[in-house]
């Protein structure tokens, strides 16, 4: 096995920088939480492609503090595939009838930029939960 | 490393491994692959999560969902529902005792809510076999600081000022120990990590070594710089194979990365470590005995002073600290002594890890701030006593510690309070006992352990523990005399006064504390020939209560020695000459028709 390079203090900081962002997910925190609705209806309507496109974009942008989760049907099956974007301290925003292209727009403008894509928005806020 | 949308953190501490954690991990990996999710979801084996009662455990992040008591058969459903469809699986979540609704998130579970993690901050969060993950959570940052920005004296001052005291039991200020070794002019100097954890029911050190071995290494390298040591030894008992394996991996990784060996982090400082395996003698945990063991001699303590800081390993200045102490050090250097000072009580700073075992709902490993009350640990975190029984006592500090009764439940947990109450901090074993526990029997258990583990060097300890064991054993057999109690107290005191090392000096504690708080139980055994808890077999017998027996034959089927007679729907009878007093019949009876009794007619021969 080739000898690994001995670390210096600067290297240590670099490793930390690089790995820390990959690990923020373990603490359940991030700048944004994106939920792809993957109930039967969502999957049938193409939620899988949306998920792939989203993970692809996150990989390309090389950011690590966006949390991606899945959830079940949001109750508006004709608007699937759907996605909910939650930016810290802002109400959740739901987008519907997504395509990979629409997703890329939302990713750049809303998830990275913090500005919601008004013409694609389905609803802002969430239902009251009893 | 790459980005995943979810991490499945599988607890792989010894407790969960023995419940099949690696099988769960393999099943998860297989299922994730089957669903083609392997690029989105990472399965990670972590160190002990702490909630051992509920293993095998999987924590799903970033959702924070806590799954427990998992079976391999649950895995396909879990992956499909939670990871594919995003619906957390309720039936695999934790349901608190006496409640119906599950608690989905780990942070909301009572057991975790009240803990304060410093030493265990990476437990259940990082893969202990990956140095990058340790570094990601600020690992080796303290080392970089100590090597590049601080003088050795500044490091010692920081530890002194932090108020850190040895976590191995006696509570000697760590900074003072380091300062004493640093003052010595002779070299080489050595460091030792004492991982010879021998208390029955204790597994704090093992869990730290398993969950975060790099934290121990980092603490030791910092300590080496502070006192000027060039070589260190990590002493781990051979009964801890997983801890040994993870420490070996950690040392190899640290060496490869230049964190051990020559010119550490390019600062010109040299230090290296090796592992020494202990053979499992309790007395090896005593520092001078441990040093003898590292040198290849029989683990027998020697007279101190001179202390190891002056004359330790091969006669050279040596700093020996417990696993937990070493693992605390990086946190103090990284976050500052002021921060550490702010936690805990006047004389006991920081946090302490306890292994919470015995008759407690939530068995596991907990880290709590010093000064927390026993009640908060037993009821708040531990969830109280199962099966609706009553709390009777908590045994703290292992065989050297003592049993504290219910009236001391509000005692703050710190070095001084525990010692004043007759127990001691010890390394952190906490055995909870319910009202079905006989305190004389407990004293007998610990005395048997001690007389077995006494190295035999001091007469007072060798003979004292044996004689105390014999007397207490006789009491449990109904052969006790009234004069025994005074004799026991005298023996315990002499063993304490005349023995050289900590083992002998504390060997009387189990007797003294049970006599102090539960004297009436000894008296019941001696005067009435009665065991109030119904434990001591010579003093009880099982009888069938004729008016309650329905003749259902449950007891007859349960009896391992075929000593119950009776046909269906007839009153049953226990043949006392064959009964081995195992109590299986009583447990099997649904009508409370079997009672353990003291009978005046029982002849004690």
Mutation site for A-interface testing, chosen from B46, B49, B88, B136 by largest number of A Cβ within 10 Å: B136
Which residues from A are below 8 Å from B144, CB to CB?
A: 9, 12-13
Same domain, B25 and B75: yes
Is residue B124 domain-resident? no
Q: How confident is the model at residue B1 (pLDDT cuts 50, 70, 90)?
A: low
Phi, psi torsion values for B47, nearest 5 degrees: -75, -175
Among B341, B359, B386, where does a domain finish? B341
Question: What three-state secondary structure class fits B434?
Answer: strand
Which tens digit of pLDDT belongs to each residue from A1-50?
Answer: 344 678 888 888 888 888 877 777 777 767 788 888 887 888 888 888 89
Is residue A64 domain-resident? yes
Is residue B467 domain-resident? yes
Task: Tell me the H-state helices in B169-260.
Answer: 174-183, 204-211, 213-227, 241-256
In chain A, count of helices (H) and strands (E)? 4, 5
Same domain, B377 and B421: yes
Question: What is residue A129's predicted lDDT score, i.e. its pLDDT?
Answer: 52
Is residue A3 domain-resident? no
d(CA B174, CA B548): 62
Contact A58 B1 (CB under 8 A): no
Who wins on pLDDT, A68 or B310? B310
d(CA B210, CA B52): 14
User: B91 lies in which domain range?
Assistant: 6-109
User: A57 lies in which domain range?
Assistant: 28-124
Same domain, B313 and B411: no
Q: Torsion angle of alpha carbons B101, B106, B112, B114, nearest 10°?
A: -80
Paired tokens of A109: 């403008």
Same domain, B152 and B271: yes
d(CA B218, CA B239): 24
Q: How confident is the model at residue B441 (pLDDT cuts 50, 70, 90)?
A: very high
> What is the average pLDDT score of chain B?
92
Nearest Cα residue in chain A from B146: A9
d(CA A46, CA A41): 9
Residues B57, B65, B365, B395: is their CA dihedral positive or negative? negative
Q: Are B254 and B262 in contact (CB under 8 A)?
A: no
Contact A19 B133 (CB under 8 A): yes
Among B341, B365, B397, where does a domain finish? B341
d(CA B566, CA B589): 14
Same domain, B271 and B137: yes
- Is B108's Cβ below 8 Å from some Cβ in A? no
The tally of domains found in chain A comes to: 1
Which residues from A are below 8 Å from B5, CB to CB?
A: 25, 55, 67-69
Is residue B255 domain-resident? yes
Rg (CA), chain B: 26
Residues 6+ apart with CB under 8 A from B524: B530, B531, B532
Same domain, B384 and B523: no
Question: What is residue B581's predicted lDDT score, i.e. its pLDDT?
Answer: 87
Which tens digit of pLDDT belongs to each residue from B334-376?
Answer: 999 999 999 999 999 999 999 999 999 999 999 999 999 999 9
The tally of domains found in chain B comes to: 5
Residues 68-127 of A with CB under 8 A from B: 68-72
d(CA B366, CA B360): 13
The complex's ipTM works out to 0.75
The CATH number for A69's domain is 3.40.30.10
Q: Which of A72-81, A83-92, B37-46, B424-433 has the lowest mean pLDDT?
A: A72-81
Instruction: List, in sequence order, every beta strand (DSSP E) within A52-120.
Output: 66-71, 83-87, 93-95
- Is A39's Cβ below 8 Å from some Cβ in B? yes
Is residue A130 domain-resident? no
Q: C-alpha angle with apex B244: B238 to B248, nearest 5 degrees?
A: 140
Q: How confident is the model at residue A127 (pLDDT cuts 50, 70, 90)?
A: low
Mean pLDDT of A92-114: 89
Question: What is residue B599's predicted lDDT score, i.e. its pLDDT?
Answer: 52
How distant is the Cα of A52 from the closest Cα of chain B, in angstroms?
9
Give the closest residue to B194 by CA, choosing from B230, B164, B232. Answer: B232
Which residues from A are below 8 Å from B265, CB to CB?
A: 7-9, 12
Mean pLDDT of B91-98: 90
Nearest Cα residue in chain B from A68: B5
Report the residue from A7, A29, A37 with minimal CB separation from B258.
Answer: A7
Same domain, B143 and B223: yes
How distant is the Cα of B68 from the closest Cα of chain A, in angstroms?
18
Question: What is residue B63's predicted lDDT score, i.e. its pLDDT?
Answer: 82
Among B390, B406, B434, where does a domain finish? B434
């Amino acid at each position: 096995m080739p000898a690994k390079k001995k670390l210096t203090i600067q290297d240590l900081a670099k490793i930390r920088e690089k790995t820390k962002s990959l690990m923020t997910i373990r603490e359940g925190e991030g700048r944004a939480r994106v939920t792809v609705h993957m109930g039967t209806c969502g999957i049938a309507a193409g939620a899988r492609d949306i998920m792939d496109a989203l993970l692809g974009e996150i990989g390309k942008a090389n950011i690590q503090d966006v949390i991606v989760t899945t959830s079940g049907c949001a109750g508006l099956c004709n608007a699937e595939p759907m996605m909910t974007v939650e930016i810290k301290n802002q109400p959740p925003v739901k987008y519907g009838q997504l395509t990979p292209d629409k997703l890329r727009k939302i990713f750049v403008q809303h998830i990275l930029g913090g500005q919601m894509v008004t013409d694609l928005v389905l609803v802002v806020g969430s239902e009251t939960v009893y | 490393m790459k980005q995943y949308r979810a991490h499945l953190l599988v607890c792989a501490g010894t407790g969960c491994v023995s419940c099949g954690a690696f099988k769960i991990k393999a099943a998860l990996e297989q299922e994730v692959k089957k669903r083609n999710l392997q690029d989105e979801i990472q399965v990670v084996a972590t160190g002990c999560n702490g909630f051992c009662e509920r293993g095998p455990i999987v924590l799903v992040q970033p959702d924070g969902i806590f799954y427990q008591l998992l079976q391999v058969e649950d895995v396909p459903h879990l992956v499909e529902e939670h990871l594919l469809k995003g619906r957390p699986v309720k039936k695999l979540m934790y349901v608190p005792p006496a409640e119906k609704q599950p608690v989905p998130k780990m942070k909301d579970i009572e057991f975790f809510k009240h803990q304060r993690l410093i030493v265990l901050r990476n437990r259940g969060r990082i893969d202990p076999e990956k140095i990058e993950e340790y570094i990601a959570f600020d690992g080796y940052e303290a080392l970089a600081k100590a090597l590049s920005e601080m003088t050795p004296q500044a490091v010692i001052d920081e530890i002194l000022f932090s108020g850190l005291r040895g976590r191995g039991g006696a509570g000697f200020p760590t900074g003072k120990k380091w300062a004493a070794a640093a003052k010595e002019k002779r070299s080489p100097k050595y460091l030792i990590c004492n991982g010879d954890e021998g208390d029955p029911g204790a597994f704090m050190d093992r869990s730290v070594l398993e969950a975060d071995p790099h934290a121990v290494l980092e603490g030791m390298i910092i300590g080496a710089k502070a006192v000027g040591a060039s070589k260190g030894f990590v002493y781990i008992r051979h009964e801890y194979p997983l801890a040994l394996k993870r420490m070996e991996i950690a040392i190899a990784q640290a060496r490869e990365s230049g964190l051990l060996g020559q010119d550490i982090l390019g600062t010109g400082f040299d230090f290296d470590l090796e592992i020494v395996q202990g053979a499992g003698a309790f007395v090896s945990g005593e520092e001078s005995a441990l040093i003898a063991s590292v040198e290849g001699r029989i683990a027998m303590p020697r007279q101190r002073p001179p202390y190891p800081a002056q004359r330790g390993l091969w006669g050279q200045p040596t700093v020996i600290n417990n696993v937990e102490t070493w693992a605390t050090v990086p946190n103090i250097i990284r976050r500052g002594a002021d921060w550490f000072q702010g936690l805990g009580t006047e004389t006991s700073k920081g946090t302490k890890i306890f292994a919470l075992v015995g008759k407690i709902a939530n068995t596991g490993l907990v880290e709590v701030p010093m000064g927390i009350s026993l009640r908060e640990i037993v009821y708040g975190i531990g969830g109280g006593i199962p099966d609706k029984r009553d709390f009777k006592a908590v045994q703290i500090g292992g065989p050297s510690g003592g049993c504290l009764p219910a009236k001391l439940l509000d005692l703050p947990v710190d070095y001084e309070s525990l010692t004043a109450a007759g127990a001691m901090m010890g390394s952190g074993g906490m055995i909870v006992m319910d009202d079905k526990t006989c305190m004389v029997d407990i004293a007998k258990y610990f005395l048997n352990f001690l007389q077995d583990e006494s190295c035999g060097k001091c007469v007072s300890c060798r003979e004292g523990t044996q004689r105390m064991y014999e007397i207490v054993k006789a009491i449990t057999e109904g052969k006790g005399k009234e004069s025994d109690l005074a004799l026991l107290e005298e023996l315990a005191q002499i063993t304490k006064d005349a023995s050289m090392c900590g083992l002998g000096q504390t060997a009387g504690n189990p007797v003294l504390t049970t006599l102090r708080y539960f004297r009436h139980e000894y008296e019941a055994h001696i005067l009435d020939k009665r065991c109030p808890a119904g434990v001591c077999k010579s003093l009880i017998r099982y009888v069938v209560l004729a008016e309650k027996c329905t003749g259902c034959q449950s007891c007859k089927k349960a009896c391992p020695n075929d000593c119950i007679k009776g046909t269906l729907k007839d009153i049953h009878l226990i043949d006392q000459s064959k009964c081995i007093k195992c109590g299986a019949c009583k447990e099997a009876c649904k009508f409370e028709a079997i009672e353990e009794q003291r009978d005046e007619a029982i002849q004690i021969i």
